[in-house]
């Protein structure tokens, strides 16, 4: 998944907490976490041991000097906000109050989340402001 930007592109790789900024096909910024953020279960198929990742839904968005990296972790949706003005460090970590089936970045600080009620009969579209 990626976020296009003038003269470059932000990308995130599935199943890894790994965000990179490419400019002219060269890596300029590489952001990695200090620990593994995605839950992996070891499985064996046809005699080959593999790690299977359950949490891989990712949304990456950029606004002004902030990079928003939203992902599922178990039954939670987390949004990590990175400061891009010089240090590229984790600014803060947010936990959404609901488990959204789908997230979208509209514009600026506005995001939208699609969720079900407890009985999974009604669908709600929530407007989310992240500052």
> CB 1: neighbour CB atoms within 10 A?
13
The 3-state DSSP class for residue 36 equals coil
| Domain count across the chain | 1
Burial of 20 per CB tally in 10 Å (0-12, 13-18, 19+): middle
β-bridge pairing 8-12 and 18-23: antiparallel
Domain that holds residue 85: 2-129
Report the alpha-carbon angle 56-113-117, nearest 5. 100
Alpha-carbon span 13 to 37, nearest angstrom: 13
In the prediction, which pLDDT does 36 show?
A: 63
Alpha-carbon span 62 to 60, nearest angstrom: 7
The model's pLDDT over 27-79, given as tens digits with 9 standing for 90+, comes to: 999 888 766 666 667 888 888 887 766 666 789 999 989 999 998 887 889 99
The model's pLDDT over 92-121, given as tens digits with 9 standing for 90+, comes to: 999 999 999 889 999 999 999 999 888 878
């Amino acid at each position: 998944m990626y976020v296009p930007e003038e003269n470059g592109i932000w990308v995130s790789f599935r199943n890894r907490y790994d965000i990179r900024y490419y400019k002219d096909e060269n890596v300029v910024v590489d952001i990695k976490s200090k620990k593994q953020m995605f839950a992996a279960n070891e499985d064996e198929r046809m005699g080959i041991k593999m790690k299977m990742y359950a949490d891989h839904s990712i949304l990456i968005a950029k606004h002004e000097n902030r990079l928003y990296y939203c992902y599922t972790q178990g039954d939670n949706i987390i949004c990590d906000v990175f400061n891009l003005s010089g240090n590229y460090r984790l600014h803060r970590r947010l936990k959404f109050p609901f488990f959204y089936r789908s997230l979208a970045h509209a514009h600026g600080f506005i995001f939208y989340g699609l969720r079900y009620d407890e009985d999974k009969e009604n669908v709600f579209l929530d407007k989310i402001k992240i500052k």
